[in-house]
Amino acid sequence: MIADAHCHFLSEGFFRTLGTEVGVGGDAAEVLPDRLGWTRPGTAEALADAWVTELDRHRVARAMLIASVPGDEASVGAAIARHPSRLVGAFMFHPKAPGAAERLERAFGQLGFRTVCLFPAMTRVPVDDPASEAAFAAAERHGRAVFVHCGVLSVGVRKKLGLPSHFDLRLGDPLAVAAVAVRHPSVPVVIPHFGAGMFREALMAAESASNIVFDSSSSNSWIKFHHGLTLKQVFTRALDCVGPERILFGTDSSFFPRGWQKPVYDMQRAILHDLSTPIEAQNQIFGGNFSRLYGTEALP
């Protein structure tokens, strides 16, 4: 089974939120995709159908879709309600936005989301701030996971649209994540992209907090900041330090018509083959860990 733990759901709401910054005439959900050469998303249900068709084409059993701007939970909520056996929901969360506590409870409760995503460098709210730790506490109460983006943060669509990204990368330290994760040991804490340039710190964090897991998503181009490092070496060190049971496969797929990023899968599968990784361990990485963390059935 292949399950992708990191895909972005670029809904109409996503584009309309960006449109407030770009300043477009007309509906940003149509204007911005046209400007980018991307497929218009249509309704949340239509986009969910497109995702499932794409997953079927590549024989991907399940995927986690991330609501990729704060406040867009309803879009992914509609998607996972439409395809509960195939899609798992995650949402980007601003811990200090108005109504944050209520939004968190609704997402985990009524909407059935499995994961809350924190982007400290983007929101400028440290992961050890009480407002951020409230997300860990809510995940603990509901039996859910927390995703924390660390290291380098670059939002491709913002670059393509010429929008500035005033991120504070100092806040994306995996060691700060570990300090909170150890206080919530029952909560799976996902650090994507192997720490996105803070690989050493991510390994240290995972050593400190056994509930930290990595996702392998994207091309992992952050390795350019580490002289001589290869993705094969990254997998080698991660497997040695945390084992296959703490690595989730992901692609960071997002827009159409590009769709699901099979080259990412092919590259990672080839690396694990070259490392002579046992098939049982590969099965954990490419699907088994997803089911263990996010369940095998839809939430009631």
| pLDDT single digits (tens) 139-160 | 999 999 999 999 999 898 999 9
Residue 23: pLDDT band (50, 70, 90) is confident
CA–CA–CA angle 5, 89, 58 (5° rounding): 45
For residues 228 and 133, give the distance between their C-alpha atoms in angstroms, rounded to a whole number: 36
For residues 128 and 204, give the distance between their C-alpha atoms in angstroms, rounded to a whole number: 17
pLDDT digits (tens, 9 = 90+) for 176-228: 999 999 999 999 999 999 999 999 999 999 999 999 999 999 999 999 999 99
Q: Does the pLDDT value for residue 25 go beyond 60? A: yes
CA–CA–CA angle 73, 294, 45 (5° rounding): 40
Buried/exposed code over 124-140 (b: 16+ C-beta within 10 A; e: otherwise): ebbbbbebbbbbbebbe
pLDDT digits (tens, 9 = 90+) for 62-92: 999 999 999 999 999 999 999 999 999 999 9
For residues 29 and 114, give the distance between their C-alpha atoms in angstroms, rounded to a whole number: 26
- Mention every residue, 6+ apart, whose C-beta is less than 8 A from residue 133: 127, 180, 183
Q: Is 190:64 a contact under the CB 8 Å cutoff? A: no
- Mention every residue, 6+ apart, whose C-beta is less than 8 A from residue 95: 118, 123, 125, 129, 131, 132, 134, 135
pTM for this entry: 0.96
Residue 299: pLDDT band (50, 70, 90) is low
* Nearest CA among 232, 123, 122, 140 for reference residue 189: 140
| One-letter identity of residue 264 | V
> What is the pLDDT, as a whole number, of residue 296?
79
- Mention every residue, 6+ apart, whose C-beta is less than 8 A from residue 110: none
> What is the pLDDT, as a whole number, of residue 298?
61
* Nearest CA among 23, 20, 5 for reference residue 60: 5
Residue 3: beta bridge partners?
A: 62
CATH entry 3.90.1150.220 includes domain 3-294: no
What the block records as the tokens of 97 is 């936005």
> What proportion of the chain, given as a percentage, has pLDDT over 70?
99
